[in-house]
């Protein structure tokens, strides 16, 4: 069965090739057909190959059949070609009519040669048809583009509406969050204000009863007094960050006045007590200290270690911040009590009545 289909395929391929040659080159087709037809005669003298058909006799029959068909087709095409050529010479109109139904391209080429006027009419019709087709295609393309543009515009409009809705929703959510945060902030602010006013009330009530003698016994207690004054200053400063009404501001000013008066009482007393307190602390090291002058603004230290300037600088650097907070204006260092020459540092400090916020390194900011 396989050999049968292979043989059939070869026969069909040979016939197809022969018909193509006969159609496009009839003269060549005649010669090829005659060659295939004469092949069996050669077999009388010399054996021929099987032509891949498996049997020499069958191959000869196929060759004769293909040659005969190719020759007949070639003669037919050649006869037809000669007939059309004669018809072209004798009756061009009939020739053109017959050719029109067979081959439009060749018909137009012959029409251009035989009847130029009719060719011009036909060419105009063809151009008109081509132009109409192009216009139709252009209209279809324009309609397609317009539809695509409309769809794109609709998509963009829908996307814009969606985006606007999203933005509006986000804005509403953000507004709601801000409003909620503002409510919380105001509630926290009111809570802080209430706590602040309560603290002011307590301090206003307690400040008049505070006595300097409670903070003058030694250096540690003097420092506690300084911490208390610093805490009052921070409490006063806190009011700047709160939204206080007029009545609350009035109470804050009342606290300020009490604080100013109390500082003016406490700080001179603390400075006065600082000399004896430091003297007791330096006794074991054979040193002494005293505070002198109006308001006890000058502090004097006496020790043999102050014979060296490096020691003076080191000690002053260590205690400078504490001296500033006590608001001494001058610090003197002697290596013995009766020394006529000694080292001193001038200190730029706020007034006793100034409410200040102390920062590192002895820096400060006066609170108004």
Residues 333, 364: contact at Cβ < 8 Å? Answer: no
Compute the distance between CA of residue 315 and CA of residue 334 in angstroms, rounded to an integer. 12
Q: Are residues 132 and 15 in the same domain?
A: no
Q: Are residues 214 and 348 in the same domain?
A: yes
Residues 324, 362: contact at Cβ < 8 Å? Answer: yes
Q: Are residues 169 and 252 in the same domain?
A: no
Q: How many distinct structural domains can be found in the chain?
A: 3
Task: Tell me what pLDDT residue 284 has.
Answer: 86
pLDDT band at 71 (very low <50, low <70, confident <90, very high): low
Domain boundary among 82, 114, 146: 114
**Sheet of 298-302, strands arranged across:** 288-292, 298-302, 330-334, 343-346
Q: Are residues 88 and 151 in the same domain?
A: no
Q: What is the pLDDT of residues 105-145, one digit of tens each?
A: 767 777 677 778 777 777 787 888 888 889 889 888 988 99
Q: Are residues 354 and 214 in the same domain?
A: yes
Q: At what angle do helices 309-326 and 246-282 cross, to 10 degrees?
A: 150
Q: Are residues 255 and 292 in the same domain?
A: yes
pLDDT of 287 strictly over 60? yes
Residues 107, 99: contact at Cβ < 8 Å? Answer: yes
Q: Are residues 235 and 309 in the same domain?
A: yes
Q: Are residues 233 and 190 in the same domain?
A: no
Intra-chain end-to-end CA distance of the chain, in Å: 118
Domain boundary among 55, 81, 114: 114
pLDDT band at 38 (very low <50, low <70, confident <90, very high): low
Q: What is the pLDDT of residues 199-211, one digit of tens each?
A: 999 999 999 999 9
Cβ neighbourhood burial of 161 (10 Å; 0-12, 13-18, 19+)? exposed
Nearest to 268 by CA among 232, 230, 295: 295
Q: Are residues 261 and 357 in the same domain?
A: yes
- Average pLDDT taken over every residue of the chain: 82
- Show the domain range for 314: 210-366
Contact residues for 299 (Cβ-Cβ < 8 A; gap 6+): 271, 274, 275, 278, 289, 290, 291, 323, 326, 328, 330, 331, 332
pLDDT of 305 strictly over 60? yes
Q: Are residues 6 and 33 in the same domain?
A: yes
Please state, for a pLDDT cut of 90, what percent of the chain lies above it. 52
Q: Are residues 40 and 171 in the same domain?
A: no
Q: Are residues 275 and 173 in the same domain?
A: no
Per-position DSSP letters for 108-133, written without gaps between them: HHHHHHH-HHHHHHHHHHHHHHHHHH
Query: Position of tokens 């540092």?
Result: 345
Task: Tell me what pLDDT residue 190 has.
Answer: 93
Q: What is the pLDDT of residues 184-228, one digit of tens each?
A: 988 999 999 999 999 999 999 999 999 999 999 999 999 999 999
Domain boundary among 114, 130, 161: 114
């Amino acid at each position: 069965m396989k050999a049968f289909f292979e043989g059939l395929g070869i026969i069909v391929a040979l016939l197809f090739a022969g018909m193509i040659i006969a159609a496009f080159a009839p003269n060549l087709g005649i010669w090829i057909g005659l060659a295939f037809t004469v092949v069996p005669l050669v077999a009388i003298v010399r054996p021929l190959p099987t032509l891949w058909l498996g049997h020499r006799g069958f191959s000869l029959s196929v060759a004769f059949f293909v040659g005969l068909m190719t020759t007949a087709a070639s003669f037919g095409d050649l006869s037809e070609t000669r007939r059309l050529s004669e018809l072209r010479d004798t009756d061009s109109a009939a020739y053109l009519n017959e050719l029109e139904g067979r081959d439009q391209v060749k018909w137009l080429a012959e029409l251009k040669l035989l009847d130029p006027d009719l060719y011009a009419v036909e060419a105009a019709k063809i151009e008109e048809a081509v132009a109409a087709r192009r216009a139709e295609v252009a209209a279809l393309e324009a309609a397609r583009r317009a539809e695509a543009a409309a769809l794109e515009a609709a998509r963009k409009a829908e996307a814009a509406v969606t985006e606007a809705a999203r933005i509006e929703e986000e804005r509403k959510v953000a507004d709601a969050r801000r409003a909620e945060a503002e409510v919380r902030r105001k509630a926290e602010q009111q809570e802080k204000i209430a706590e602040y006013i309560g603290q002011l009330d307590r301090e206003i009530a307690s400040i008049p009863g505070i006595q300097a003698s409670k903070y003058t016994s030694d250096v540690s207690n003097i420092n506690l007094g300084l911490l208390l004054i610093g805490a009052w200053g921070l409490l006063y400063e806190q009011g700047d960050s709160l939204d206080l009404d007029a009545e609350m501001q009035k109470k804050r000013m009342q606290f300020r006045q009490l604080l100013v008066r109390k500082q003016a009482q406490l700080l001179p007393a603390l400075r006065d007590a600082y000399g004896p307190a430091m003297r007791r602390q330096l006794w074991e090291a054979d040193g002494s200290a005293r505070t002198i002058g109006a308001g006890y603004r000058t502090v004097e230290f006496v020790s043999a270690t102050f014979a060296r300037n490096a020691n003076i600088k080191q000690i002053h650097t260590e205690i400078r911040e504490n001296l500033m907070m006590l608001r001494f204006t001058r610090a003197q260092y002697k290596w013995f009590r009766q020394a006529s020459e000694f080292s001193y540092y001038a200190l730029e400090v706020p007034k006793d009545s100034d409410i200040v916020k102390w920062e590192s390194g002895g820096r400060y900011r006066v609170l108004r």
